[in-house]
Amino acid sequence: MSHRRILIIYAGGTIGMVPSANGFVPSARFADDIGKLIVKHHGAATHHRLITLDPLIDSANASPHTWHRLADLLWAERDHFDAAIILHGTDTLAYTASALSFLLAGLNKAVILTGAQIPFAMPVSDGERNLQGAFACARGPVREVCIFFDGVLLRGNRARKWSTEPGNGFHSPHWPHLAQVNGSIDINTAALLPPTTPQHDPPPAIGTGRAAIVTLFPGIDASLLRAAADHHRAGLVLALYGAGTGPTADPAIRRTLTAISADRIPLLGISQCPHGTLNPALYETGRQLADCGVIDGRDLTPEAALAKLHTLSCQRRPPADLATAIAVPVAGELTPANGT
């Protein structure tokens, strides 16, 4: 499949950074190195095209506008590539991958995000092998949004940044690796999303509402929840304890959550635990949260939960439909109640 047309989008991130007086910053000069790397590993006849975003960003500054900018660019170029690679900073890589999986759910092409923990200009950089692995996976049968890092290909909306150290950067707690690259490429075909009929609807335009993640903690005040909801009317992702509990002995917490839900602001519950799914019916406190309007997010990652709320808001889904829409996988992002 060496004839495939590969679109490479250099968005910024550590992989192309250079030192400055105030620390590492993105550099456009890395774009020249990308082309040299591809020729080095795949030959001058490789069908690839490079787009460098302007301005480049440190991924700490990524926002929903970044997600839509990338989604719109990929959609506009969809007839000119068979697979795409996005070079992006690691700090918010999983957020961007999750958002693109929803915004481009009908694209039916591989979109592989990668980057580095150490800049390419440094001798111990992991950037070259990550780009090389992403390129290898882009030539395979993958038809979804993924993250390639440290030799493994992960579903983008199932992945989380796990470590700041090379070699253990990203994990996928609830879904197996899609592929492994170690000299050769080993595709886990059973874990891939099946190909779909390409859709003709472009990504939804960015909305005016914003979503937020609020982590519950002992002693949390109800006013924090109310303020978060007032400023993030696209919804709150509530990172709950364990299987889905929270401090419901505080009547102000229950009243506030009920009022937020009545204001048609979605409340989506996920677990603070990196592994495991919610089971709100297991404990009385979980049932009380459900009675306050908290939707069961099952095994969604925080990144995927936030991105899904954002996308549903952009689609202007009626609040009454949100619980159903969240429970149904769009791009393999959660395990539905029936386990399939």
CB 156 within 8 A of CB 101: yes
Between CA 48 and CA 38 the distance in angstroms is 9
267: left (phi over 0), alpha (psi -120 to 50) or beta: beta
In the chain, the amino acid numbered 248 is T
Number of H helices, E strands in the chain: 9, 16
Written as six digits, the tokens of 53 are 């975003």
Cβ count within 10 A of residue 43: 9
14 is catalytic: yes
Alpha-carbon distance of 138 to 226, in angstroms, equals 44
Nearest 10 degrees: CA dihedral of 315, 318, 320, 323?
0
Choose, from 14, 90, 114, 277, the residue flagged as catalytic.
14
Distance (Å, whole) CA 249 – CA 269: 18
User: Do the Cβ atoms of 10 and 30 come closer than 8 Å?
Assistant: yes
Give CA–CA dist 313/318, Å, rounded: 9
Q: Which of 76, 75, 53 is nearest to 66 (CA)?
A: 53
HSE-CB of 62 using CA atoms within 13 angstroms: 26
Query: Strands of 235-240's sheet, edge to edge?
Result: 211-215, 235-240, 267-271, 294-296
Catalytic residues: 14
